[in-house]
Structure 1
Amino acid sequence: MSEQNQLLSTRQAAILLGVSVRTIQLWVEQGLLSAWKTPGGHRRIVQESLLSLLHKRQKLQPLTYVLCVNLDADFFKLLQVLCQQWHFPVELQQARNAVDALLMMGEQKPELVLMTFEQQGIDMTLLQQELVQHQVKLALLSAEDPQPGLTMEMIWLRQPFEPLQFKTELQKLLFARLQQAG
């Protein structure tokens, strides 16, 4: 994500948080939001600080859910720790297999399904069609390059795992969700 995309105007931040521009300015002055001023005197709010403030204001209520399918328990714990460190309003849920994932999706629709590309017995084309129909994004962990036959816009996460890549993709997802809610 470019640095320009990581910044918001005070008006954009106000709209996303449902407050006035003056409130955003006061929060910047109080240090609740990280920002800097342009040469013209306009504030630019750092998206990550906005997500952190939103997380605190919602009293730890998640903005979005991520369903992790058949991931190693230690890797899942790492993802949880990273989301907590970043103060992202995200709840990670873990499914042991595809059947558990389907049952969990019936209870709570995730915004993102995260799984390894090398899943046995899963038709990726069919999975993509179903997820697109239900407006759920797919993130695949793989050491390989993205597969040309996969048509859906998906998130391709490199293995070995790069936390910064995951953080960037999660920020995009959170801001898309925040804009839908606003």
Structure 2
Amino acid sequence: MKDQICTSRKAAELLGVTPRTVQLWADAGILDGWKTPGGHRRFSTASVMKLADDIVNGQHGSHDVPASSARPRGAEPVRILVVEDDKTLTRLYDLTLNSWGLPVEVILANDGYQGLIEVGRFNPELLILDMQMPNIDGFSVIEALKKQKLLKGMHLMIITALTEREVKEKVSLGPDVTFIQKPIPFLKIRNKVESILVSR
């Protein structure tokens, strides 16, 4: 029976991420688990392996970057994660961001569920987040990231059809969060990418 139950550390080893990422996914409901009376997380090996299969089958490209890897420096690409459920917009993001001639690596996720998986795998420097999505929405993504204190390590741009007031009624935004209403302001995104490159 013991080999059918995983600790956070063992689950992290099987998934190729950090234990903190496992906790993030557990908080967001991506990975089913429970807590012992002592407060330690436990997961069934079957649920961990199912998530591992989901990650492999849901890959958007070659980006096997462990969450524990160091951030790129110098001219290395800025890692950008776009979480947007509109496939037309995700294609537009992909084509536009890669057309600038800047050192960027763009990963696309079509809902909050996949977005949180990619946060753990890809460790983005810039997260571009839509708010209204099926399953896990942008609000839940932000709360999960805040709970694991992962927002401090990345730049967050909320780009949504909602008003800033509508967003702030549901979630508090820190001073480092950029809020923009759609349509997508690609010039502002480019300026943000350039500022990240300059600040390294």
TM-score by length of 1: 0.53
Residue 156 (1) aligns with residue 179 (2):
yes
**3-state SS in 2 of match to 1:161:** coil
Unaligned runs of 5+ in 1: 1-57
What is the CA deviation profile of residues 58-102 of structure 1, one whole-angstrom value per residue up to 9, with x for unaligned ones? 7xxx51211111332221222222223310111110123223223
d(CA) in 1 for partners of 2:98 and 2:123?
A: 21
Q: CA RMSD in A?
A: 2.7
Number of equivalent positions? 117
1:93 maps to which residue?
A: 107
Shift of 1:166: 1.8
d(CA) in 2 for partners of 1:159 and 1:111?
A: 22
1:131 maps to which residue?
A: 150
After superposition, where does 1:1-182 map in structure 2 within 5 Å? Answer: 63-119=77-133, 120=137, 122=140, 124-129=142-147, 130-133=149-152, 135-143=153-161, 144-145=163-164, 149-176=172-199, 179=200
Q: Decide whether aligned partners of structure 1 residues 157 and 128 sit closer, same or farther in structure 2, where only a CA change above 3 A counts.
A: farther
What is the CA deviation profile of residues 118-174 of structure 1, one whole-angstrom value per residue up to 9, with x for unaligned ones? 3436163443453235x0221101241365531251122331222212221222123
Instruction: State the one-letter code of the partner of 2:158.
Output: L
What is the CA deviation profile of residues 22-47 of structure 1, one whole-angstrom value per residue up to 9, with x for unaligned ones? xxxxxxxxxxxxxxxxxxxxxxxxxx
Unaligned runs of 5+ in 2: 1-74
**3-state SS in 1 of match to 2:140:** coil
**3-state SS in 1 of match to 2:164:** coil
d(CA) in 1 for partners of 2:141 and 2:88?
A: 26
Q: Decide whether aligned partners of structure 1 residues 71 and 90 sit closer, same or farther in structure 2, where only a CA change above 3 A counts.
A: farther
Structure with greater Cα Rg: 1
Q: Is the 8 A contact 1:71 1:115 kept in 2?
A: no
Q: Is the 8 A contact 2:112 2:141 kept in 1?
A: no
d(CA) in 2 for partners of 1:90 and 1:106?
A: 18
